[in-house]
Each structure stands twice: as structure tokens, then as C-alpha cells.
């Protein structure tokens, strides 16, 4: 089976346009409800969380209608981080978890992510089966078996209490001044509460959601406001989450950014010292910097690479029995603690190391020298495929020949937006720019011609 509706992280698109319409959410709810109730038994339940987008109300209601129409009972968590849905799906003995979020995308977008009863995201195969069910008539429940919906008022509190258990016992954050940027998103209450309860002096940024301002000038992909707050308040560190709080960008005391690669390097080193890093292995995607791989090799550790997408990192971790992985973008997956990326728990791991060593964030956050890396995104029209044209293929072949032995080139379609990402790494920065610009220009010409 193939998938066309599902991308690398569920279903995503512009709100109130296909596929992010109330009608599609209703159909998806019914399809996934029937998928999990194929044996016809009763007493099935689903949990639904969401971020702070205005369209979340519409999609939550439609999904609930679809699920209950097939006999699923629905537990509504309200605004909670994506990792909270994975956690509560498992702890509440639910059969299905759903997160309504478009992560770091603008407020005009939204998405739907599905979790199985184990708290892990559904496999490609399961998503393909659900997608196939949309094309056929879905058997509805008899009137006496229609499901119920119920609000769960303490979902956020349950998540906060669990997150605190991942911090070293007996350790507090007294004396640390922490800027936390919640992107006006799902963690706008949970993250500041957690840090305050652990003893930190908290300066909050991006904690006034209004339905339209999620990720707007704040959050892990736009940390400039948080960096300014770090400097103005003399903070020790900044932690920037994205809209659904499953990724993180760190800021040291000077406001300098550290991406997921640097945080994974620190954690891999530390966990290896403690004998916690399974098989001395870190799992990351093809986007992670070459410098990370060299750094790990110098410490007797290995890097396993996967396709882009935290779901593929998790699949590799589960199949290999490894417990630490993630993405350069800041998805940090720690299966000792969570079933998906968790930006808040990852940030706490960094704070714990600051407390343990007494060293400033600037010393801990830059673990290796990055190989020069350049990424350009080229937008293309729906239905077009510039990568299949002769001119783009020729440009890619030429670039690969010029880079051979001196770096690497990676070209891929985004799984969440109509973008083609052109990335290269090379010590020669002039050559790096020429390579990326040449391929990106070739793609852009074809993308424009297709409009």
C-alpha cells in the first residue's frame, strides 16, 4: 500500500483547505476508529491533544464526531505538548492517541498525528491501511454503541509531574535563571510550571497564545526574541520550544544558538560515561552535520543515520535497541523517558549537566566544530516534481562530481511542506555556495516553469 495523504509526520496542510478540512477530519476519525475497532469489541478509547491554533477547535470536534460514530470513547486533553499525548495514551490505557498540531509551521496550517496504544507514532504500513479505508464505506456503530466524549482537566498536570521524574532526584535548579520560549504553543503553561517547580528563576517568552500567534516570531525556529531576553535579563540559559514542544533549540548565556546536533553530542558523551548509551550508538538523520559524526568517532562512539523524520529515527532506535537519537532540528528522542521527541525533557537534561558540572552553557553547548553546511529551500507547486526533470538531474550530477571526496550533497522533498531542500557540506565554503546555489537555481527554474 502507498500513502499520499500522510507525510513524514501525519497529515498536514493549510487549515480549512484539503486535507485539513472538517470533513476530512471527520472521515479520518471514523477511519482510524474503525481501524482500531476491527474486532468489533466495545470499550475502546482515544485521547486527543492539540496545540493553540484556532483551527484546532474545528478539527478536534470533527475528529471526535468521527471517532464516536464508530464506537470509540474520546478523552479530550486540550492544549498539551505532543509528547504528552504519547505518554497519556499509554498511561490512560487508550487504544489510540491523536495530536492536532502542525508543529513549527505557521498558525494558518494544522496537522493530525496518530499514536498507537504503546504511545509510539503509527507505522507507515498502519497509516497506509487507514488511508485506504477512506476510499471505502466505513461501517458505523449501532445507535446503542456510539462512543462518548469527556474532557480531562488534569492532562497537563500529569505530564508536568512525569517530566519532573526525568530530572535527577534530589537536584534542584536554584540559582539558575532560565528563559523559556514556548512559541505561544502547546507548552505555554507546562514548561514554565515545570522549571519553576524545580527551583529555577523563570523568564517566560511566547506564553500568550491567541489562536493566531503560534510560532510567530518566537520558538525554536525563531529564537531571536528569546536570545534578546537572555541578554537583557542576564540569564544563564535559554530553552526554545516549537509549537507542539517536541523539539528544542538551546541558547547559551550570550544568546548563541546550539542546535540538536550539539545537544545530542553532549548527551551521548554523558550517557556513555555513565554506561547508559546502548551499544555506544547515537541515531540521527542524514541532515546531521558531518562534524557530529567525526566527534563521536573520536570518542569511540558511532552514529547511525536514517532518512529525515523523527519517526524514522525512532523506528531505527526500536529495531536496533538504541536509546538516544534525534534530529539537527531539535527533535531529541530518549526512549528511557519518552515515546517521541520531547523538547522540555531534552532541555532538562542540559540543565542537569549545568548543575552537575557547574560549567556555563557556553562551554557545554558547543561540543564540536561544525563542518560548513548550507541549506536552501525551494518551493514548488502542488503536483509538480522538479527533481524528475532532465536539467535538475544534470545539475545534481555535476554537483556530486565536483564534491566527490570533499563533502556530501543531499536533496530531498520536505515531508510536511511543498519544499525541496538542497543541502551540502564541504570544508571549502566557496565551493559549498556554488554547489548549493547551482542546484537550487536549477530546481527553482523548473518549479517556476511548472506553475
Per-residue CA distances from 426 to 161, 248, 431 (Å)? 45, 26, 7
Q: How far is CA 296 from the centre of its chain?
A: 23
The C-alpha cell at 70 is 464508530
Does residue 172 contact residue 97 with C-beta atoms inside 8 Å? Answer: no
* Distant-in-sequence, close-in-space partners of 389: CB < 8 Å, separation ≥ 6: 446
Burial of 51 (0-12, 13-18, 19+ CB in 10 A): buried
Q: Is 362 a catalytic residue?
A: no
| Pure H helices in 189-235 | 190-197, 224-233
Q: How far apart are CA 221 and CA 87, in angstroms?
A: 25
Per-residue CA distances from 427 to 95, 424, 434 (Å)? 49, 10, 13
In degrees rounded to 5, what are phi and psi of residue 109?
A: -95, 165
Nearest to 425 by CA among 395, 405, 445: 405
55, 103, 220, 329: the active-site residue: 103
Q: Is 243 helix (H, G, I), strand (E, B) or coil?
A: coil
Q: How far apart are CA 260 and CA 280, in angstroms?
A: 18
Nearest to 431 by CA among 368, 387, 370, 372: 372
The C-alpha cell at 267 is 548527551
* Distant-in-sequence, close-in-space partners of 216: CB < 8 Å, separation ≥ 6: 106, 107, 184
Give catalytic residue positions. 103
Amino acid at each position: 500500500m502507498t500513502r499520499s495523504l500522510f507525510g513524514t509526520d501525519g497529515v498536514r496542510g493549510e487549515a480549512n483547505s484539503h486535507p485539513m478540512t472538517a470533513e476530512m477530519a471527520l472521515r479520518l476519525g471514523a477511519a482510524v476508529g474503525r481501524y482500531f475497532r476491527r474486532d468489533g469489541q466495545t470499550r475502546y478509547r482515544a485521547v486527543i491533544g492539540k496545540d493553540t491554533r484556532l483551527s484546532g477547535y474545528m478539527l478536534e470536534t470533527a475528529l471526535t464526531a468521527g471517532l464516536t460514530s464508530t464506537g470509540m470513547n474520546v478523552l479530550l486533553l486540550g492544549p498539551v505538548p505532543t509528547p504528552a499525548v504519547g505518554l497519556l495514551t499509554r498511561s490512560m490505557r487508550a487504544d489510540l492517541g491523536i495530536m492536532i498540531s502542525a508543529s513549527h509551521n505557521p498558525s494558518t496550517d494544522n496537522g493530525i498525528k496518530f499514536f498507537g496504544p504503546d504511545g509510539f507514532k503509527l507505522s507507515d504500513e498502519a497509516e497506509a491501511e487507514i488511508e485506504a479505508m477512506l476510499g471505502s464505506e466505513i461501517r458505523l456503530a449501532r445507535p446503542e454503541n456510539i462512543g462518548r466524549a469527556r474532557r480531562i482537566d488534569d492532562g497537563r498536570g500529569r505530564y508536568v509531574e512525569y517530566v519532573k521524574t526525568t530530572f535527577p532526584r534530589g537536584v534542584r535548579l536554584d540559582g539558575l535563571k532560565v528563559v523559556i520560549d514556548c512559541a505561544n504553543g502547546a507548552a505555554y503553561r507546562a514548561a514554565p510550571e515545570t522549571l519553576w517547580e524545580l527551583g529555577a528563576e523563570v523568564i517566560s517568552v511566547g506564553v500568550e497564545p491567541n489562536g493566531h500567534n503560534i510560532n510567530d516570531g518566537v520558538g525554536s525556529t525563531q529564537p531571536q526574541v528569546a536570545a534578546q531576553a537572555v541578554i537583557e535579563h542576564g540569564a544563564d540559559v535559554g530553552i526554545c520550544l516549537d509549537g507542539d514542544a517536541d523539539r528544542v533549540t538551546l541558547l547559551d548565556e550570550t544568546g548563541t544558538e546550539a542546535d540538536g546536533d550539539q545537544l545530542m553530542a553532549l548527551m551521548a558523551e554523558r550517557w556513555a560515561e555513565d554506561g547508559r548509551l546502548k551499544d555506544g550508538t547515537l541515531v540521527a538523520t542524514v541532515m546531521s552535520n558531518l562534524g557530529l559524526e567525526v566527534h563521536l568517532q573520536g570518542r569511540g562512539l558511532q552514529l547511525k543515520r536514517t532518512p529525515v523524520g523523527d519517526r524514522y529515527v525512532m523506528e531505527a532506535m526500536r529495531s536496533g535497541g538504541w536509546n538516544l537519537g534525534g534530529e539537527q532540528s531539535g527533535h531529541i528522542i530518549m526512549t528511557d523517558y519518552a515515546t517521541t521527541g520531547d523538547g522540555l525533557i531534552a532541555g532538562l537534561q542540559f540543565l542537569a549537566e549545568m548543575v552537575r558540572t557547574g560549567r556555563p552553557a557556553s562551554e557545554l553547548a558547543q561540543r564540536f566544530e561544525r563542518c560548513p553546511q548550507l541549506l536552501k529551500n525551494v518551493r514548488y507547486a502542488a503536483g509538480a516534481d522538479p527533481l524528475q526533470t532532465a536539467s535538475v538531474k544534470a545539475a545534481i550530477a555535476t554537483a556530486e562530481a565536483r564534491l566527490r571526496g570533499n563533502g556530501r550533497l543531499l536533496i530531498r522533498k520536505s515531508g510536511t511542506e511543498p519544499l525541496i531542500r538542497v543541502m551540502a557540506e564541504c570544508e571549502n565554503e566557496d565551493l559549498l555556495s556554488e554547489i548549493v546555489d547551482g542546484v537550487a537555481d536549477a530546481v527553482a527554474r523548473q518549479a517556476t516553469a511548472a506553475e
